[in-house]
Amino acid sequence: MSSALSRRRFLGGSMALAAGAAVGPFLAACGGGSDGPVTEIDALLITGGDRYPAYWEKVTSAFTQQTGITVKYDLLQFTPLTSKEITLAAARSTQYDVYSTHTAQIGAFFPHFEPLNNYFDQADLADFFPVAIQYMTNPASGELAAIPRNMDARTQYYRRDLYEAAGVQPATTWEELVSVGQRLTSGGQFGLVLPGQGDPAQRQFADFLWQAGGEWLDQNNNVTFNSPAGVEALTFYRDLIQQYRVTPSDVVTYQWNENSAGFTNGTCAAVFDWPGAYASFGDPSLSTVSDKYATAPMPSHKTGTSCAISHGLAINKYSRKKDAAAQFLKFTVTPEALVDQYAEFKNYPSRRSTAEQVTSQAQGMEHQWLADLRTTIDNGKEWPKVPGFDKVSTVVQTAVQNALSDQMSPQAALDAAAAESTRILQQAGALR
Amino acid sequence: MATSQMSRPRAPVAGRSRTTPKWLTGYTLAAPAILLMLVIFLYPLGQSFVMSFFRWDLNSAESPFLGLSNYTDLFTGTSFGQTLRNQVIFTVASLVIEVVGGMAIAVLLSSKLRGLRPARTLLLIPPMVAPAVVGLNFRWLFNEQYGLIDAVLVRLGLPAIPWLSDPGWALVSVIIASAWQNTPLLVLLFLAGLQAIPREPLEAAAVDGASAWRTFWSIVLPLMRPVVVIALMIRIIDLFRTFDVVWLMTQGGPGNASNLLTVEAYKLAFQSVDFGHAAAVSYVALVLSLLVLALLYGIPRLTARRSAAWQA
């Protein structure tokens, strides 16, 4: 009797639990859209070093002090952050109200980020770098998907001591990049380091493509990266590694971290790196060349174009606390916040007025570096934000590696990638 | 006597009708577990299968039905053929190294040689290390500029090998790392199998003057067949799921030189943001591994049946 009873109880309990688990989320969803004042938002934010947790803690605490809204946040590095956001967006998750994002990956997220045009007035947006606003805007709808937090553009960092000893100047052209690199390459020392894997390889190819006068797509979104300019760019990229041998032979396995490490460990005499590197290269605990480096503009070829992209923050379209999330976004891009971010990480401000302010206050090498960055950003570009281009990027990354590792000629690699990219863009409805 | 039997009270019929059938009780008790399994195992499996027939990305609100397009796209694309070839090479090479090496080490450890007891304990370490850690360690060991392995080769007067940057060596490097981690698992399995072999046939072979190799080939190996089959099955399932080691060492590169099916699925899902094609790749991997397992399971049974029929 007692056994039968306990069975029934067990089954009853199990069914109640199952029913609770099934109905709970719906009840929570129904009750979630409360009309009361929002006291807490959730954010998925980017980290990239020891100082980021303290920085975000400072920003979110100041925001709470000012607004009374607590920000609960999780920190992830760039790649896992993107993977997690893809999963959350696919699931239409309401877990986070605010996402960190970046120009490079924003194309996939346009339908999943709340348009910000109603939260920022045009006069305020006009202060941001146009290139940042342009590539964070959905070209199909004209809606701003994220607010730029800091600009990402690359600079040539070089070893002042080695260059002086060899009697050479930083390269200003592709030809000089080869000749200077060869002068500084000998006995385990290399003249240059480049990334050669994944998204960083595509980024490097993009710079060479634009500098050779090429483009990714034409006005109708037809693939053009396999044009003669594209082939010239990829051939030059490959030859730096395989023919001129001015880089370590295994750069085809390097991403950003290995690229920076090649410079900070003293093996390579020059590197193209992001603004954040200015601070880390000068930190003796992170760099063996902290007092030996200087900066110069990126070399040019037919054009001097390089990438100008940005980190930003966006509001989850499925968030039920959009107004509070928008307040947080505005708080993180005030001129004061951008100055603070520059002081902390040397992150180049996304507002033109703030960039001018920090540049005018800087002196010597730092002033010159900021001025060079400004030139790069004003002339900068980003790859297209059309449907399907994320997949095209993966195809191009493989093609670039195939050419860099001499598995295919640059022409053959780019032609194969172009054929597949055309099919991808057709399927995505991007071809006009 | 008969009367007294007739007058004995009978078990109430109504009571029997109230008793729940055993099978129903069983299923009811198992229902919560079955339900949980359906939710966490079968639903995602079914959902991803359905996904493989649709366009499923983040760019559009709608997910149109594509039929077999996601599958045909894979086979007409530029990279999938190479990925499939890599998967076959990786699986076959890993199995050969791990089974042959594992058996050799197991035979050595089961011998009475002194000083081998600590080796059994040490063998537990590689399978206990997280694959991600193995991937990172081997990425550094195989590094051309600072790696230990090339440093040793150069010290020995041999040329340095471009382990991770050369298309020919990249897949070899990944196979070595995977074998380093997983061979000890097979050693332990084979060791258990060797210890369970009856002594009589071995003693008979010794009396007949059979050589060690002949004894191993004609007695030990046939008796070990069930263990070897189980080991092969476990490893085939694992090899078709291998991701961490490859991702951390080469990301499937250079180009597609060391790309495997799981890496391709990850790239499609999380770099290309194309879940439809990613699901299709996953199902190709699942079908292939099931096919290999079916062959592995079916061929010995078929052979045994034919042999029995022939003997009859």
**Residue positions counted in chain A:** 432
- Residue A1 clears pLDDT 50, i.e. is over it: no
Instruction: Give the pLDDT band of residue B5 (cuts 50, 70, 90).
Output: very low
Joined tokens for residue B195: 């210890």
Contact B190, B231 (CB under 8 A): yes
Best of B20, B56, B145, B251 to substitute, by most chain A Cβ atoms within 10 angstroms, is: B145
What range defines the domain where residue A282 resides? 153-307+382-427
Asked whether residue A271 is domain-assigned, the answer is yes
Asked whether residue A122 is domain-assigned, the answer is yes
pLDDT tens figures, A389-409? 999 999 999 999 999 999 999
Q: Do A253 and B31 count as a contact with CB atoms less than 8 A apart?
A: no
Q: Which is more confidently placed, B310 or A42?
A: A42
Together in a domain, A186 and A279: yes
Asked whether residue A432 is domain-assigned, the answer is no
pLDDT given at position A64: 97
Mean pLDDT across the stretch A188-210?
A: 97
* Chains A–B, number of C-beta pairs less than 8 Å apart: 113
Question: Within 10 Å of residue A231's Cβ, how many Cβ atoms?
Answer: 22
Instruction: Give the pLDDT band of residue A25 (cuts 50, 70, 90).
Output: very low
Together in a domain, A287 and A324: no
Best of A101, A251, A252, A421 to substitute, by most chain B Cβ atoms within 10 angstroms, is: A252
Together in a domain, A274 and A175: yes
From A327, A351, A373, give the residue that closes a domain: A373
A133 min Cα distance to partner chain B (Å)? 20
Together in a domain, A252 and A400: yes
Q: Do B59 and A428 count as a contact with CB atoms less than 8 A apart?
A: yes
Q: What's the CATH code of the domain at A200?
A: 3.40.190.10
Together in a domain, A303 and A318: no
B209 min Cα distance to partner chain A (Å)? 56
Q: Do B61 and A111 count as a contact with CB atoms less than 8 A apart?
A: yes
The three-state (H, E, C) secondary structure of chain A, written as one string: CHHHHHHHHHHHHHHHHHHHHHHHHHHHHHHHCCCCCCCEEEEEEECCCCCHHHHHHHHHHHHHHHHCCEEEEEEECHHHHHHHHHHHHHCCCCCCCEEEEEHHHHHHHHHHECCCCCCCCHHHHCCECHHHHHHCECCCCCCECCEEEEEEECEEEEEHHHHHHHCCCCCCEHHHHHHHHHHCCECCEECCECCCCHHHHHHHHHHHHHHCCCCCECCCCCECCCCHHHHHHHHHHHHHHHCCCCCCCCHHHCCHHHHHHHHHCCCECEEEECCHHHHHHCCCCCCCCCCCEEEECCCECCCCCCEEEEEEEEEECCCCCHHHHHHHHHHHCCHHHHHHHHHHHCCEECEHHHHHHHHHHCCHHHHHHHHHHHHHHHCCECCCCCCCHHHHHHHHHHHHHHHHCCCCCHHHHHHHHHHHHHHHHHHCCCCC
Share of chain B above pLDDT 70, in %: 93
- Residue A208 clears pLDDT 80, i.e. is over it: yes
B64 and chain A in contact, CB less than 8 A: no
Together in a domain, A109 and A141: yes
B44 and chain A in contact, CB less than 8 A: no
Together in a domain, A229 and A196: yes
Measuring CA to CA, how many Å separate B27 from each of A155, A172, A336, B30, B148? Answer: 68, 77, 65, 5, 58
Mean pLDDT across the stretch A356-369?
A: 96
Together in a domain, A199 and A272: yes
Q: Do B144 and A250 count as a contact with CB atoms less than 8 A apart?
A: yes
Asked whether residue A2 is domain-assigned, the answer is no
Joined tokens for residue A63: 């925001």
Instruction: Give the pLDDT band of residue A233 (cuts 50, 70, 90).
Output: very high
β-pairing verdict for A70-76 and A40-46 = parallel
From A331, A350, A373, give the residue that closes a domain: A373
pLDDT tens figures, B115-164? 777 888 888 899 999 999 999 999 999 999 889 999 999 999 999 999 99
A398 min Cα distance to partner chain B (Å)? 5
| Mean pLDDT over each residue of chain B, to the nearest integer | 89
For residues A19 and B133, what is the distance between their CA atoms, to the nearest angstrom?
Answer: 41
Contact B296, B229 (CB under 8 A): yes
Asked whether residue A420 is domain-assigned, the answer is yes
Q: Do B167 and A250 count as a contact with CB atoms less than 8 A apart?
A: no
Chain A residues within 8 A of B269 when measuring between CB atoms: 86
pLDDT given at position A16: 55
A11 min Cα distance to partner chain B (Å)? 7
pLDDT tens figures, A274-314? 999 999 999 999 999 999 999 999 999 999 999 999 999 99
Least confident of A5-14, A186-195, B171-180, B200-209: A5-14
Together in a domain, A360 and A392: no
In chain A, how many domains are there?
2
- Residue A413 clears pLDDT 50, i.e. is over it: yes
Instruction: Give the pLDDT band of residue A27 (cuts 50, 70, 90).
Output: very low
Mean pLDDT across the stretch A354-369?
A: 96
- Residue A238 clears pLDDT 60, i.e. is over it: yes
Q: Which is more confidently placed, A25 or B10?
A: B10
pLDDT tens figures, A97-110? 999 999 998 999 99
Position B27, amino acid: Y
Together in a domain, A58 and A19: yes
pLDDT given at position A260: 95
pLDDT given at position A33: 43
pLDDT given at position A5: 45
Q: Do B164 and A428 count as a contact with CB atoms less than 8 A apart?
A: no
Asked whether residue A355 is domain-assigned, the answer is yes
Q: Which is more confidently placed, B33 or B60?
A: B33
Q: Do B270 and A252 count as a contact with CB atoms less than 8 A apart?
A: no
Chain A residues within 8 A of B77 when measuring between CB atoms: 420
pLDDT tens figures, B66-97? 999 999 999 988 789 999 999 999 999 999 99
Together in a domain, A282 and A421: yes
Chain A residues within 8 A of B29 when measuring between CB atoms: 7, 10-11
* φ, ψ for residue A368, nearest 5 deg: -65, -40
Together in a domain, A195 and A221: yes
pLDDT tens figures, B216-274? 999 999 999 999 999 999 999 999 999 999 999 999 989 999 999 999 999 999 999 99
- Residue A367 clears pLDDT 60, i.e. is over it: yes
- Residue B312 clears pLDDT 90, i.e. is over it: no
Chain A residues within 8 A of B255 when measuring between CB atoms: 398-399, 401-402, 405, 407-408
- Residue A32 clears pLDDT 50, i.e. is over it: no
Closest residue to B167, CB basis, from A251, A267, A407: A407
Closest residue to B162, CB basis, from A18, A250, A428: A250
- Residue B33 clears pLDDT 50, i.e. is over it: yes
Asked whether residue A1 is domain-assigned, the answer is no
